Amino acid sequence: MKRLRIISPAKVNLRLDILKKRQDGYHELRTIFQKISLHDTLFFTLREEKGVWIQTNHPDLPTGRSNLVFKAAHSILKRSNYKGGVLIQIKKRIPVGAGLGGGSSNAATTLYALNQMLEMGLTQEELMEIGIKIGADVPFFLYKGGAAIGSGIGERLEKIELPLLFYVLIYPNFEVSSRWAYQNFLLTKKEFHFNLHQLLTNPQRISSFLWNDLEEVVSHRYQEIAMMKELLLSVGALGSLMSGSGPTVFGIFSSEEASKKAKQKIKTKVKERGWEIFHAHGLV
């Protein structure tokens, strides 16, 4: 039986502006995505028996039809001539429900892997069309390149080049529902008077430009957001922001040395609170 092992990266949102509520219930947004080196590992094995089997090392991750990986595998198998099924083993490192896109990344990796293993010949655009029906962030993880400006619900992507950025991320060990965060966000009219590309040239400029419309909603309910930001800024982060719908908060550093030193300084304090801490760099 064919086997394949693929890395599935996390993402951060360096900016997230919510522009309006759409008729389909989604929100129109503009965001800057960056893939980072924090990743899960997925193993795929084709089987003769029909079906989708998921195994994982994460005790709280569902393995049935609600799992985005299951949905992705089911979508591809339905389109293929393959009469058998697939076993997918997910080794999780990306926290679940953390605003880092782990589920979407895993789903995108599944679409890519099965397209390859079953020799279906679907293009990137075709895979992205399947992916958007599974989750708004899935197309980004199928997109070639480490960073992009996302618009629409995140599916319209424009590739951008970013300088090498280093991150320290803190996850406070609880999940935040994306649906809840968006439902509780109050829209206000916005004017944009800046050139995105001019602001993405170095870590200092990027740090001054960080923004997330959902941060106020989530931090109002969870005071840990402000505490994590303050902690990262106290050890030299150029800027700090909550990623996506949270609750993970990241700090940006311009060098690997500075980011590793910062992580070391706050590691004990973070673990005493029962939180998790990660070091990562941006992918290109």
Q: Where are the beta strands (DSSP E) in the chain?
A: 3-21, 27-47, 51-56, 85-91, 147-152, 156-159, 166-171, 211-212, 239-242, 249-253, 276-281
Q: In sequence order, what are the residues at sequence separation of 6 or more whose Cβ sits closer than 8 angstroms to the Cβ of residue 34?
A: 11, 12, 13, 14, 146, 147, 162, 165, 282, 283
Q: In sequence order, what are the residues at sequence separation of 6 or more whose Cβ sits closer than 8 angstroms to the Cβ of residue 146?
A: 34, 35, 162, 282, 283, 284
- Cβ–Cβ < 8 Å for 211, 15: yes
Strand partners, 203: none
Residue positions annotated with a catalytic role:
11, 137
